[in-house]
């Protein structure tokens, strides 16, 4: 079946995932296979980001969260981290006008204060320039770690208990969710991991409790629109029971 026909079929499906999260993996291996420096893989990965953002916007996906730079990635060699920060800065500056034109809203989660000042400023400006957009929410997980996010949420809740603003007996799933950085977003319905690795890698651990997970051997720089459609088509074939049995699910 032709790609355009698949896209048209997906556009009309009411059961599309509202929120897709992608663990973008394989940039380094892509570069190594071609005997190129690792940063070349990250540069090539930008094209995949562009393809996926455009495709999700065209399909009507509400939220796309990209695991862009993890809390653990700070352990990488300093020159690589520096190059990644410059790449992020240059990409934001280059792509912002097109993102505005396509009604994309930029959001960031993670320890943004740890990023270089010019990168932080560019991210804040991009968020401000797109805050009134009503299309796809492009949520960038930067300097992000889910364990760290959960720990921060617990601290905030603890302070409220200490100050008498919250009764410990009232702490439940909703209270915890409301103190996470994704409080204003639906939980991911589908998580895609590229490069064939079967790990969550500290990505949205609370939020993906009932997400469907799709693993592809494709390295991130090689990830095409057809790969995204394959993951979505696989998602649509799955029965999401959320702990129930088939007979309990709403009949459609």
In order, the DSSP letters of 168-204 are GGG--HHHHHHTSTTTTSPPPSEEEE-TT-----SSS
What average pLDDT does the segment 48-77 reach? 97
Catalytic residues, which ones? 25, 73
| Segments making up each domain of the chain, as ranges | 18-233
Tell me the C-alpha to C-alpha distance, in Å, between residue 34 and each of 27, 37, 40, 192, 222.
Answer: 11, 9, 10, 24, 13
Q: What is the pTM of this model?
A: 0.93
Q: What is the pLDDT of residue 3?
A: 78
What average pLDDT does the segment 165-169 reach? 98
The tokens describing 122, both together, are: 């560019």
Q: What is the pLDDT of residue 186?
A: 97
Per CATH, domain 18-233 is 3.40.1180.10 = yes
pLDDT tens, position by position, 19-49: 999 999 999 999 999 999 999 999 999 999 9
pLDDT band at 246 (very low <50, low <70, confident <90, very high): low
CA separation for the pair 70, 67 (Å, rounded): 7
Long-range CB pairs of 234-239, under 8 A, 24+ apart, other chains included? 235/17, 235/189, 235/190, 236/13, 236/15, 236/16, 238/212
% the chain with pLDDT above 90: 90
């Amino acid at each position: 079946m032709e790609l355009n026909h698949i896209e048209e079929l997906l556009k009309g499906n009411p059961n599309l995932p509202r929120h897709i999260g992608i663990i973008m993996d394989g940039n380094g291996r892509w570069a190594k296979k071609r005997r190129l420096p690792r940063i070349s893989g990250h540069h090539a990965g930008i094209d995949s980001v562009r393809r996926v953002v455009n495709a999700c916007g065209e399909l009507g996906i509400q939220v796309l969260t990209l695991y862009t730079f993890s809390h653990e990635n700070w352990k990488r060699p300093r020159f690589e981290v520096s190059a990644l920060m410059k790449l992020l800065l240059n990409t934001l500056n280059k792509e912002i006008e097109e993102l505005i034109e396509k009604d994309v809203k930029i959001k960031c989660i993670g320890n943004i204060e740890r990023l270089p000042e010019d990168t932080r400023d560019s991210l804040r400006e991009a968020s401000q320039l797109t805050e009134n957009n009503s299309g796809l929410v492009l949520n960038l997980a930067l300097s992000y770690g889910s364990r760290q996010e959960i720990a921060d949420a617990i601290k905030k809740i603890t302070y409220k208990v200490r100050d008498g603003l919250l009764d410990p007996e009232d702490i439940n799933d909703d209270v915890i969710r409301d103190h996470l950085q994704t409080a204003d977003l639906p939980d991911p319905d589908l998580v895609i991991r590229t490069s064939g690795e079967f790990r969550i890698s500290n990505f949205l651990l609370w939020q993906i409790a009932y997400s469907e997970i799709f693993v592809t051997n494709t390295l991130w720089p090689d990830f095409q629109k057809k790969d995204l459609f394959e993951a979505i088509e696989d998602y649509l074939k799955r029965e999401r029971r959320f702990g129930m049995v088939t007979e309990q699910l709403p009949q459609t």
